[in-house]
Every structure is written in C-alpha cells, then in structure tokens.
Structure 1
Amino acid sequence: MVLPPGVPRNHGEVCKLKKALYGLKQAPRAWFERFFIVIASLGFLPSNHDSALFVKCTNAGRILFSLYVDDMIITGDDLDGVGVLKSQLASQFEMKDLGPLWYFLGIEVSFSPKGYILTQSKYTSDIIERARLTDTKVVATPSELNVQYSPSDSTPLHDPALYRTIVGSLDYLFITHPNITYVVHIVSQFVSSPTTVHWAEILRILRYLQGTIFQSLLFPSTSSLELRAYSDANDGCDPTNQKSITGFCIFLGDYLISWKSKKQTVVSQSSTEAKYRAMSSTTKEIVWLRWLLEDIGVCHSQPTPMYCENQSAIHIAHNSVFYERTKHIEIDCHLTHHPLKLNTITLPFVPFSLQIADFFTKSHSISRFHYLVGKLSMLIVAAS
C-alpha cells in the first residue's frame, strides 16, 4: 500500500484500515457480511441449501434474490416488492439497475414464445479466438468414437499454458453446452502435463463449437415442474486405473437443470457396482434439488423417478440385505436405499437405448450423439 501524499513516512509505522479494501484477502468476506446484514434487515432469509440465495415471502407472493460476488438477479411474483427492494438496496449501496435479465456472467438470456433461452455465443467465440484457431472447419461430434487417452500419449507440449487456459474456459461453457461435458472432463485430466494428442482433442472440441456456436439451452414456458433423473456409469473405462465414470442428468419438467460427468474415486468390481455408485451420486443431487426447489416455492409431493438401466443395481438399492455383494462398498454409497424407503425417489428401469445419462459417460457415434442431444432440451443452430 502506498501512503497518500503529505503523510509523513516514519520508520516502523503502519496504516490501520478502517474498512476492507478491494483486492485484500478478507475483502470478499467483509463485503458479504455487510451485504448480509442489510438484506437480513429487509426481511430476507438465506436458503439453507444455497448460501447465495435469499428468499422473502410477502402477502403478494415470493421474492427471490441470488447473489454472485457483487452481481445479482432479483425475481419473484411480487412485482411491487421487487421495486421496493431495488430502492432499498440503492439507498445502501452504489448500484445500477440493468433492467430485465439479458446478460449475466457471460450468459446471454432471451425470451421467446417457447420460453427462456440461454446461450454463450460470445463467450464461445472468445474461446475460439483465444485458442488462435484460424480455420473454419467443423466436425459433427466433439470427440471420436471409442478413443481413449492416457498421460503418456505422444510428446508433451512445450508450453502447456494455453492448454490449461482453454480447458478452464471450457469448464464454464458447460452451463449451456452439456453436450461437451464428457469430453471436457476427459481432457481436463491432463492439465498438469498435456501432450500434442491432448491438444488435438482440444482443437476438435473447438471445431465442434464452431459449428454449434449459437447453441442454446431452452427452458420451455409450458413445461411441468416435476423432477425426473437418469443415472448411468461406464464401467472401468479409464485405461490408466480402470476407474468408472459416473454420468447423470436431471430434468425439471422438459428442461435440463443439472448434469455431471465425473470419474469415480475407487475401482468398481463390476458394472453393477459402478452403476450403484452412480445412483448414489444422483440421489444426493436429487435430494438437494428437492430442498432447493422447496425454498423457492416449488414443492414435490410425489417421489422423483431416477431411471437406471441395470436391474441388479436396482435390486440392491431396494434390498439392503445383499451383504455378500456389497460389504466392500463404502457406507455413503448405500444412501440410495434410505430415500427410496422414504418414497423420495423411485427406481424405474429404462432400456439402454433410452438411457439419456449414457450421453455423459462415453463418446458416441454421430447418429447416437445427435439423438441424445435432441433429448436435452437444446436448440442447435448452425453457425452462419
């Protein structure tokens, strides 16, 4: 810190701050504490399941307030209460009202008769430009079929900084591009020591994005508000350590609200065990989403169906006495049984051909890939 002009610089003296300065380590904490005091004084309560979501119930309805650092979204069915909240916040903080939501943290928001549409076309263009991709080639899928990568593939990149930058940028693109989730999960495993083969896969992802740069995630206005989930796993697919990949996707009515592609932490001894572990991860997300939706006024009295294609995994979840088959599995992986018993979830069987979560566990042929993309409530528009 540089002392202001005119202040004598005596040896051994330091400045005492009366408030946090932007950029200091404790500044974000100090800002949130100050903001929390103000918002709590206005009658808002923090959600127990998302510390950045604040809710206030009034006679006219409900007001929802979501905070990300110093950016915020305010919505609700009490329009007069929303207006009053804006005025009260403006009296406490220097702020700017940007009007109806159209752009937030790199996400473009638009409204059509079909519903709300989220896209990241500008953000996608910036990534392609940052990668210095100059050609206009496009590919039909972001990854080749049945290709596996390992840390020893080819020769290491001389300067891996660009690789790490692009992978980090692609992670944020998941918000509107769930169709690249699996392949980005794969390339992100090699950020410590990427090779030329891994960089070639990055370029393939970017060429796929060039062809779908205006892809959008649709939230239909006529959709129901019932939850349904799909859970799957690709058994022992990692060529390095034979670990499986968990994949799940959860819909609220007709639109996709949560999805994941992640390597499991331990090696499974069978496909049944891998899918059983995937069911556990999906169950955690379902329970959390039900709690969060209840906070914002969407309650679910009916159990949430979680579709699984493995009959043995379904039987194990229903019957906890399969001790010989499951005694080596950690306790937390058995949590599917409890919500099932409480009628929070159900486990209907779904055939492989209709298992949407399969999209997040492996690469696919062009026809299968586009079939599954069509099930994710996305609008695909080719780049002009």
Structure 2
Amino acid sequence: MEYIETFSPVARMTTIRTFLAVAASKAWHVHKLDIDNAFLHGDLDEEVYMVLPPGFQGEKPNQVCKLLRSLYDLKQASRQWNAKLTATLLRDGFKQAAVDPSLFTKGIGRDYIALLIYIDDILVASSELTNIQQIKESLDEAFKIKDLGVLGYFLGIEAKVTTAGLNLCQRKYALDILNDAGFINCKPMSTPMVPGSHLSQHDGTPLNDPGSYRHLIGRLLYLTATKPDITYAVHRLSQFVSSPTDIHMAAAHRILRYIKGSPGQGILYPTATTLLLKSFSDSDWPSCHDTRRSVTRYCIFLGQSLALQVAASEPTIVYYDNKSAVAIAENNVFHERTKHIEIDCHVVRERIAQGLVKLLPVSTLNQVADGFTKALPISLFGSFVSKLGVQNLHTPPYGGY
C-alpha cells in the first residue's frame, strides 16, 4: 500500500470567525505567514519509491529513488506536513485545541499567543508584537517562512482594521463571480430571494448543462462565509444541485443581482465588546414542499460578533420564539408528548440547572434567525440584515459597487 492516511485537518470557518472576533475585541495584533514549500518538509512513514528524475543517470539499469520526505504529488503529503508542523509546535510548548486541531495556544496574559493553521497559511495573534516575532523566528528556523505582516487577506477573504473593529469581506471574490456569470452590469435587487417563494425540485425544465448551476452554487456557498444575508437563499438552492431546472437557475441569478448591490458588504467584528455568547434559534414548520420537513436554523453571537482565553461569566442566552419549547425545557415535569426529544430535552435542562444556559422568549420581529429559515419581504429583510452586524466597507469610495 502506498499510503494510509491522507486527510489533513484545516481550520473550520467557525474557528476562524471566533479567532478573529476575539482578536478584534481585545485589540490583538494579527499577522499572517506561510511556509515555503511546506509539503517538502513532511517525513514519510511508508516506503515510497520514484523513477529517476529526467537527466539523472543511475549506475545500474532500472534504478529508482527512495523518498525520505514527501513530494507535492504524493497523496499523503498534506497529512505528513501537518504532522510535522504539529509536532514542532507541541515541542515548543503550544497546546492543541481539542475542538479544532488546527488551533494552537501558548502562555497566559501578556505572553498569550494563538496560532490558526490552514494547510501552509498561518495566522498568529497576540497582544504583544514581541511574542509574534519570536514564533516567526522559531518557525523560520525550522521550515523557512514567508512573513506577510499584518493580516490583509486570508483564504480569499479581505481583512481591514478600522476604528470600529475588524471588517471581513469577499468583494473581489464576489465581483469575480458576477463577472464570470455575466452579471457585472446587471440591475441590483433588494433581496436575494422572492419573498414568500417556495421552490420545488419539480419546478421548471431540467437544464442542459447542470454543471454550470453546480459551479455557481458552490462559489456562492463559500461567499456565505462573510455574507450571512444570502445564507438561506443559497442553501435552499443547493438542495437542487442533483437535478437543477431553469427556475432554480433564475433564482440563483436573483442572488447575483442582490450581490451586485453590495459586493463589499461583510462581517464586522467590533472592538472593546463584551465577549458573552448569545444565540437565536428558529424553525419553519414544515416548509419544504417536497419532503414536508422543517427548516431549523440558528446563529450565535460572541459579544456583538458572529473562545480564546475568554471566561464565561454569565450563562449563554438562547432566544427562541416558541414559548412552549421554552416552557418544556424549563419544566422538570416529564411530558409524554416529548418522548421523542427526551435525551436532548434533559441535556438542556441540566445546562439550565447548572447556570450554563438561559432560555429567553423573543418575538418573531426580533428573532434574528428568522431570515435563515425563509425568504423575507423587503421591510423585514432589511431589519434582518441590520441585526447581523454587517458593514459595507467599500460603500463610501465605491458607491456600493
């Protein structure tokens, strides 16, 4: 067998958001660096042989090379590089997070430093620049790094520090999508989906080229990383990638028209905010016309941002607009009608009793998660977007373009 393990852990988007939200709140310095020829540093655990490179003459016919380190064409190269980097950081005193193996932390107080790894791209955050410089020198000695300085771009996401906080957007990526789809000069729309629309897999005529639809939806899915306002529309359309129709494509084009109105709009992580967890949960019963299944969504705010060295001083607040569900969770008397959720219900009750979770009712008008479960009319959609904590960094100089 040539290889056993090929999977290499990469930072989850939730971890990236939390990392940057905490860094912005605490006014930490955030720098970016990458490793030169990262995969060439991985040590191989298996015996791997390759033919001699062109122009290299062996002493005997049919000679081959035995690899001691990985090459970029090897399927296990990514895995072996990650193992080498992890071992190096652990040896330097870093601790690997249990919830995400791509997050490493070290020290406390002013000596605290956090690293977030995405293959060979590394984010480093600390309150002290000397801590960041020390880890740069250590990694450069071990691997040879490329110091990219203060965070500007990461995974195609633009990061900009202002007096208000840290703004993340994918303006260039959004404009590339519009340009490639031929919508760069289209007329903008106020909402990403027709209010009250109910799409079905049987609507319309099947597309002659379903690949174009799948490609577009895939690109839009990544755009939701900084544009939560299009999340419902994109996820709804992603349910039809197996057999898309012209109606589904028309709905996807409406999302492009909405993006045209504010391609630079993104998430804002404010400074000096209280880092307490708040969550909103909402369900639309049963909204899917094909399966009659319900749509359940939630959004979680860390302070005012959608934890690193953050102590939870107060219980996590969960806002839900179903008073019956809140009553069942807080009531210790078992109800026969809730047998199907017995385990989950008891877990929630335990967390409430421990003071870790606090359930609070919220009106539908103030339910932030409502926009993640259905297509809203313009008035309600505007209110929904305003509560997401987004900001269009490019509006003043570019007029919304």
Distance 1:204 1:334 in 2: 43
User: 2:270 corresponds to which residue?
Assistant: 220
1:292-307 map, 5 Å: 293=307, 296-307=308-319
Number of the residue aligned with 2:52: 3
The verdict on how the C-alpha distance between 1:320 and 1:175 changes in structure 2, with shifts beyond 3 A counting, is same
Choose which of 233, 239, 263 in structure 1 pairs with 2:289: 239
- Whole-angstrom CA distance in 2 between matches of 1:134 and 1:122: 12
Q: Secondary structure at the match of 1:322?
A: coil
Q: Cα 1:221–1:153, aligned 2, differ >3 Å: closer, same or farther?
A: same
Q: Check conservation: 1:131, 1:162, Cα contact below 8 A.
A: no
- 1:160 matched to 2:210: yes
Change (3 A) 1:84 1:134: closer
CA contact (8 A) 1:236 1:243 kept: yes
TM-score (structure 2 length as normaliser): 0.82
**What are the equivalent positions in structure 2 for 1:160-239 lying under 5 Å apart?**
160-239=210-289
The structure-2 alpha-carbon separation of the partners of 1:157 and 1:334, relative to structure 1 and needing over 3 Å to count, comes to farther
Give 1:165 shift. Answer: 1.1
Task: Quote the Cα distance in structure 2 between the aligned partners of 1:310 and 1:58.
Answer: 42
- 2:389 is the counterpart of 1:339: no
Check conservation: 1:63, 1:82, Cα contact below 8 A.
yes
Which amino acid in 1 is paired with 2:159?
V
Aligned to 1:276: none
TM-score normalised by the chain length of structure 1: 0.85
Aligned partner of 1:64 among 98, 114, 119: 114
CA distance, structure 1, for counterparts of residue 329 and residue 222 of structure 2: 34
1:23 to 64, 68, 73: 73
Inter-CA distance 128–14: structure 2 relative to 1 (3 Å threshold) = same
1:251 lines up with 2:301 in the alignment: yes
The answer to whether 1:325 aligns with 2:337 is yes
Of the three residues 358, 370, 376, the one matched with 2:382 is: 370
How far does the alpha carbon of each residue in 1:255-282 deviate from its partner, in whole angstroms, 9 at most, with x for none? 2x2xxxxxxxxxxxxxxxxxxxxxxxxx
Name the CA distance, whole Å, in 2 between partners of 1:344 and 1:59: 25
Q: Contact 1:58 / 1:78 at 8 angstroms: preserved in 2?
A: no
| Alignment match of 2:183 (pick from 112, 121, 133) | 133
**Deviation digits for residues 184-222 of structure 1, max 9, x if unmatched?**
110000111111111001100001000011112111113
- What amino acid does structure 1 have at the position aligned with 2:378? I
1:341 Cα offset (Å): 2.0
Matched residues, number: 345
Listed one character per residue, the Cα deviations across residues 115-135 of structure 1 (whole Å, up to 9, x for unaligned) are 111111001011112223354
Partner of 1:352: 364
Q: Any idea what SS the aligned residue of 1:162 has?
A: helix
Residue ranges of structure 2 left out of the alignment (5+ in a row): 1-49
Q: Which runs of 5+ in 1 are unaligned?
A: 258-292
Aligned to 2:39: none
Cα distance in 2, alignment partners of residues 6 and 38 from structure 1:
34
Query: Could you say what secondary structure the match of 1:348 adopts?
Result: strand
Provide the C-alpha distance between the structure 2 equivalents of 1:36 and 1:374, rounded to a whole number of angstroms.
Answer: 40
Q: Is contact 2:316–2:356 with CA below 8 Å preserved after alignment?
A: yes
Q: Secondary structure at the match of 2:281?
A: strand
**Structure-1 separation of matches of 2:109 and 2:309:** 14
Q: What one-letter code is carried by the residue in structure 2 that aligns with 1:164? A: R
Which amino acid in 2 is paired with 1:90?
D
Q: Which amino acid letter does the alignment assign opposite residue 230 of structure 1?
A: F
Residue-by-residue CA offset, 1:273-303 (whole Å, 9 max, x unaligned): xxxxxxxxxxxxxxxxxxxx1xx21111210
Q: Note the C-alpha offset of 1:69.
A: 0.4
Question: Alignment partner of 2:70: what SS?
Answer: coil
Contact 1:139 1:207 survives alignment (8 Å): yes
Partner of residue 157, structure 2: 107
CA-CA distance at 1:332 after TM superposition: 4.2
Post-superposition offset of 1:6: 3.2
1:67-92 CA-partner distances (Å, limit 9, x unpaired): 00000100112321211110010111
**SS, match of residue 335 in structure 1:** helix
Deviation, 1:16, is 2.9
SS in 2 for 1:328: helix
Query: Percent same amino acid at aligned positions?
Result: 41
